[in-house]
Structure 1
């Protein structure tokens, strides 16, 4: 409950167009990785980054698929955005902006009452199902997993002394 209270207090200071901490950190990290790439314009809003991925910054798509999945521009997309001298914050999904953060944490969550304060009902208590013993002799060893290595047996001859 303390974390929820902290987040509730934090969103009071957040502007609707500001990014969340997670999105800001991801942009910084991916921006640092994008410094070593080169982008070449293809025309029609398409760019190729030296890594070999094709990007469409207008439609917010990238060949690697990270941008589409996460909603935050990938390192290839950031290289194209920086080349066009645009702000990367404009290309981040609305889910990572202050307006969505405020909407998420707007409602209060109340703790559940203590079990001693639960209302009493005249219904019978429900117990877990009983354990049934399977038919047949139980196995001596455990069943090994499909990816688990098989147990190797050591083959050696034993010499008995007289």
Structure 2
């Protein structure tokens, strides 16, 4: 049985080279012989169930040993995505937040956009694939601005 795991190491840096904790975690997955896709928002690893599950502790250790203060994992059977992580689910959250704030998200001032990001995070919006890009477009800002708002809230 094949499984896929996605992981994100934090703290996130929006510009420049990937942080050492992200590349060290990726290297641990590669050393375990897993198929890897490294991206700016996280890393996907795939392989046989026992290989992936066995590698997760090495991935976590490598990330933490190289400066990560948080690592988030999602594991699922390969080819199966949770229904709540669809683009329609994220669009519904965006509409809900806009309605709650009483304005189109693009028309909000900076504090309003920061509040929108906080509300979206509380509702799990950033668990969706490509969520930062979609949220950035809805707010009329760059994805790096979204990351800055997120880091400000977590800091």
TM-score scaled to structure 2, two decimals? 0.27
TM-score by length of 1: 0.26
The structure richer in strand per residue is: 2
Q: Give the greater-gyration-radius structure (CA).
A: 1
